[in-house]
């Protein structure tokens, strides 16, 4: 092996070690506000490091907003919060052009979407028209108002929350919007030890408020650059294709994983692998992320309801039916 090749490999190893150490610090910082949920926090950090958006769906009072705010506070950039309500208008999110009589022209007044981290609280309470205001910015990082395109800050991330059990006054997120979220996860109730710690710390009313910034927006960009350079073998890419095909052909599935979903899956797996200290993706990375990345992208048919099938069970069937690739080629040049 040439000296230049060795130096390149060592540099990459240093980057991966830095990535793993940095994401560990982020998880530690956010976990101070969300006790006993380290795995969920790790998923949220992976979402941030891979350039995706996060949907937190859980019953009321489990800490969805606290996790979202703690993640936003961890990044030393701009962040804003919008409480989605039925009377919220698209212009309340994206911004509006207002006529200035002194200048004889329209001036654009940016909305809360122009931030590095946007917290969309209870997103399913807004009308479909207002929800659609996020489609362009979540996909392309820009907003078009009155025919003029405005770029949002970089990096940009949407963290949305919604309650699955409160149906009155809510609107179901359409599939096109769900597909734009890299992950959907739930926090769940804390264990006994964490509950005792939460109750014992009632003097601190808002734990998320005490979470300080750990990294800057520039570091977020560096994390994403490192994650993009993580190796994924052709065998694993073919494995991803076969998994997607299996979802589309499953007897209970009406809408399977899209190409956009596969791209998101690949980005997430790269960031997850780097957080484990590896510069290559293995099948276990894909399995670890299967539920948060795939579950909300599957649309089951009517027969699934009568058979009692769930999205999680369909995902288990899919992974059981597709052979797992093996071999040294999964590690790339260092295998």
CATH 3.40.50.300 in the chain: give the residue spans: 1-229
> Could you report how far apart the first and last alpha carbons of the chain are, in Å?
14
Above pLDDT 70, what percent of the chain?
Answer: 91
Burial of 91 (0-12, 13-18, 19+ CB in 10 A): middle
The pLDDT of residue 206: 67
Please give the biggest Cα pair distance in the chain. 70
pTM of the shown model: 0.87
pLDDT digits over 147-201, tens only?
A: 889 999 988 999 998 887 666 678 888 888 889 999 999 887 877 887 787 777 6
Residues 233-258: what's their mean pLDDT?
92
The third-level CATH classification (topology) of the domain covering 230-335 is Helicase, Ruva Protein; domain 3 (1.10.8)
Q: Say whether pLDDT at 218 is over 70.
A: yes
Maximum average pLDDT range among 2-16, 159-173, 190-204, 282-296: 282-296
Hey, what are 172's tokens? 């179901």
The pLDDT of residue 5: 40
Burial of 320 (0-12, 13-18, 19+ CB in 10 A): exposed
Q: Say whether pLDDT at 90 is over 70.
A: yes
Contacts of 9 (CB under 8 A, 6+ apart): 333, 334
The pLDDT of residue 186: 86
Report how far residue 46's alpha carbon sits from residue 4's, in angstroms, rounded to the nearest whole number: 31
Grade residue 328 by pLDDT with cuts at 50, 70 and 90.
low
Please give the mean pLDDT across all residues of the chain. 86
pLDDT digits over 43-61, tens only?
A: 999 999 999 999 988 777 7
CATH 1.10.8.80 in the chain: give the residue spans: 230-335
Examine residue 240 and say whether the peptide bond preceding it is cis (omega within 30 degrees of 0).
Answer: no
Q: Say whether pLDDT at 74 is over 50.
A: yes
1-229: CATH class: alpha beta
The pLDDT of residue 2: 43
Grade residue 333 by pLDDT with cuts at 50, 70 and 90.
low
Question: Are residues 269 and 232 in contact, defined by beta-carbon separation less than 8 angstroms?
Answer: yes
């Amino acid at each position: 092996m040439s000296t230049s090749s060795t130096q390149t490999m060592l540099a990459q190893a240093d980057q991966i070690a830095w990535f793993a150490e940095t994401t560990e610090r982020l998880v530690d910082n956010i976990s101070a506000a969300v006790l006993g949920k380290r795995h969920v926090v790790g998923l949220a950090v992976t979402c941030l490091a891979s350039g995706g958006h996060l949907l937190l769906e859980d019953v009321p009072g489990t800490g969805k907003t606290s996790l979202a705010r703690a993640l936003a506070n961890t990044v030393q950039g701009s962040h804003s919060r919008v409480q989605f309500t039925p009377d919220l208008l698209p212009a309340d999110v994206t911004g509006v052009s207002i006529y200035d009589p002194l200048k004889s022209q329209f001036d654009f007044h940016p909305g809360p979407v122009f931030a590095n981290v946007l917290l969309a609280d209870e997103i399913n309470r807004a009308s479909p028209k207002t929800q659609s205001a996020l489609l362009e910015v979540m996909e392309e990082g820009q907003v078009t108002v009155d025919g003029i395109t405005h770029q949002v800050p970089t990096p940009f991330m949407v963290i949305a929350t919604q309650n699955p059990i409160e149906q009155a006054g809510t609107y179901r997120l359409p599939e096109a919007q769900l597909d734009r979220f890299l992950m959907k996860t739930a926090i769940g109730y804390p264990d006994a030890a964490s509950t005792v710690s939460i109750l014992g710390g009632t003097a601190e009313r808002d734990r998320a408020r005490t979470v300080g910034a750990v990294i800057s927006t520039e570091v977020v960009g560096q994390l994403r650059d490192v994650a993009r350079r993580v190796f994924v073998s052709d065998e694993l890419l073919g494995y991803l294709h076969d998994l997607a095909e299996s979802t589309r052909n499953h007897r209970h599935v009406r809408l399977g994983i899209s190409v956009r979903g596969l791209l998101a899956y690949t980005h997430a797996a790269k960031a997850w692998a780097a957080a484990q200290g590896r510069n290559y993706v293995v099948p276990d990375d894909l399995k670890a992320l299967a539920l948060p990345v795939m579950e909300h992208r599957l649309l089951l048919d009517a027969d699934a309801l009568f058979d009692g099938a769930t999205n999680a069970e369909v995902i288990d069937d899919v992974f059981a039916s597709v052979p797992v690739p093996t071999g040294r080629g999964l590690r790339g040049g260092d295998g």
